[in-house]
């Protein structure tokens, strides 16, 4: 590849700066256009990078020079925007969650294959050094037979967080707290233990004036016979308390922890001393330290996209891979509503 990948960014809200920074730092890719319904939000990017700005997506997807469209809009708008881009032959990078519904995600995967367009997904937490190390040990069989995992996300989001944007906390545009705040960590559990076979779940709203849940619990069965538990809430007092994943095998016990699963708290692996963890990015800090988010590893996402465009080794997360955690979360929601275990195909 001799020319840089030309990127259009749709959605200039809070996460957009992370994408722009990553694009700036990645060789072989370049910001070429920005789009948001609020024209004022596009101005700083348009002025700095001397790129056109739009308030409608049509000029973006009709631009023959655009190679990749990054979609960082409210969750409930992902599907319609992504489908229009794919049908125009544009490759896409979707922020989490790729869609709210599993059905819509499957349709986008079908559409990407039909239109021969690339469908990338943002799963930047996979690039945490602590997680990368554990993944290598699991894949190499050093943990032995994996039989259990426990995901604990005890976070906080004040009511003001939901009140500052009209889409947050709504069923149609936000979709769910586990879907929005927790899906990255469900993805890590699934990535380490394999495909899920069934989910039993419970959810409720107890501490916020919102349409979606602020507590979710689940039991996940995996195809390899392992089981996993999910404990999630955004009500923890007085701030974020924990984001951890404990993985148990018959030859190892490891607990990932830290503010965003970016540390190894416990390491007992047969004949394997605790490895040195390379330094990684620190988690996002919001509201003056009241709460934190994931680590800003988006630069690695973009590097893998460049490799994909160069037809090099497949390291990126595509729509089919991102679908797996979405299926688990939506099965938990369905189980909570129906009061029974939900089988996954």
Q: In the predicted model, what is the mean pLDDT of residues 30-55? A: 96
Residue 330 has pLDDT above 70, yes or no: yes
CA dist 84 and 72 (Å) reads 15
Q: Quickly state the pLDDT bin for 1 (edges 50, 70, 90).
A: very low
pLDDT, residue 324, reads 98
Residue 2 has pLDDT above 60, yes or no: no
Can you read off the two tokens belonging to residue 284?
């996002």
Assess if CATH 3.90.25.10 describes domain 126-294+319-343.
Answer: no
Count the neighbouring beta carbons within 10 Å of the beta carbon of residue 213.
Answer: 23
The burial of 30, by beta-carbon neighbours within 10 Å (0-12 exposed, 13-18 middle, 19 or more buried), is given as middle
Q: Which positions ≥6 away from 287 have C-beta within 8 Å?
A: 158, 160, 161
pLDDT, residue 51, reads 97
Can you read off the two tokens belonging to residue 198?
């069934």
Question: Over the chain, what is the mean pLDDT?
Answer: 95
Can you read off the two tokens belonging to residue 43?
């101005």
Q: Which residue(s) pair with 219 in the sheet?
A: 200, 229
Q: Which residue(s) pair with 92 in the sheet?
A: 69, 119
pLDDT, residue 284, reads 75
Q: Which positions ≥6 away from 2 have C-beta within 8 Å?
A: none
CA dist 31 and 51 (Å) reads 8
How far is residue 222 CA from its own chain's centroid?
20
Q: What is the pLDDT of residues 218-264, one digit of tens each?
A: 999 999 999 999 999 999 999 999 999 999 999 999 999 998 999 99
Residue 21 has pLDDT above 80, yes or no: yes
189, 127 contact by CB (below 8 A) = no
Can you read off the two tokens belonging to residue 221?
């069965």
pLDDT, residue 283, reads 85
Residue 22 has pLDDT above 90, yes or no: yes
Pairing of strands 263-269, 227-233: unpaired
Q: Quickly state the pLDDT bin for 7 (edges 50, 70, 90).
A: very high
Q: What is the pLDDT of residues 74-121, one digit of tens each?
A: 999 999 999 999 999 999 999 999 999 999 999 999 999 999 999 999
Q: Quickly state the pLDDT bin for 4 (edges 50, 70, 90).
A: very high
| In the block, residue with structure tokens 């919001």 | 286
SS3 185: helix
Q: Can you identify the CATH homologous superfamily of domain 5-121?
A: NAD(P)-binding Rossmann-like Domain (3.40.50.720)
Per domain, the residue ranges of the chain are 5-121, 126-294+319-343
């Amino acid at each position: 590849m001799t020319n840089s990948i030309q990127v259009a960014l749709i959605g200039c809200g809070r996460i957009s700066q992370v994408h722009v920074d990553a694009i700036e730092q990645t060789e072989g890719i370049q910001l070429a256009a920005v789009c948001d319904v609020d024209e004022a939000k596009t101005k700083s990017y348009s002025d700095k990078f001397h790129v056109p700005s739009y308030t409608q997506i049509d000029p973006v997807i009709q631009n023959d020079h655009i190679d990749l469209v990054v979609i960082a809009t409210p969750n409930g708008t992902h599907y319609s925007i992504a489908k229009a881009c794919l049908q125009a032959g544009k490759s896409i990078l979707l922020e989490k969650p790729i869609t709210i519904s599993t059905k819509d995600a499957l349709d986008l995967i079908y559409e990407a294959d039909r239109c021969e367009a690339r469908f990338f997904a943002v799963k930047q937490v996979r690039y945490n050094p602590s997680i990368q190390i554990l993944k290598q040990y699991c894949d190499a069989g050093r943990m032995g037979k994996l039989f259990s995992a426990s995901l604990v996300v005890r976070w906080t989001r004040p009511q003001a967080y939901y009140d500052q944007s009209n889409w947050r906390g709504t069923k149609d545009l936000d979709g769910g707290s586990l879907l929005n705040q927790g899906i990255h960590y469900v993805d890590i559990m699934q990535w380490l233990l394999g495909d899920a076979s069934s989910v039993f779940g419970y959810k409720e709203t107890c501490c916020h004036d919102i349409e979606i849940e602020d507590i979710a619990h689940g039991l996940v069965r995996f195809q390899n016979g392992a089981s996993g538990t999910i404990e999630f809430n955004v009500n923890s007092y007085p701030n974020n308390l924990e984001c951890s994943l404990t993985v148990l095998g018959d030859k190892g016990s490891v607990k990932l922890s830290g503010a965003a699963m970016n540390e190894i708290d416990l390491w007992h692996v047969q004949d394997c001393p605790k490895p040195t963890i390379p330094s990684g990015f620190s988690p996002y800090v919001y509201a003056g330290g009241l709460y934190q988010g994931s680590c800003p590893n988006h630069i690695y996402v973009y590097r893998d996209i460049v490799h994909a465009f160069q037809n090099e080794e497949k390291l990126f997360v595509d729509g089919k891979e991102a679908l797996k955690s979405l299926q688990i979360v939506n099965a938990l929601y369905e189980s909570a509503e129906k009061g029974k275990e939900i089988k996954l195909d």
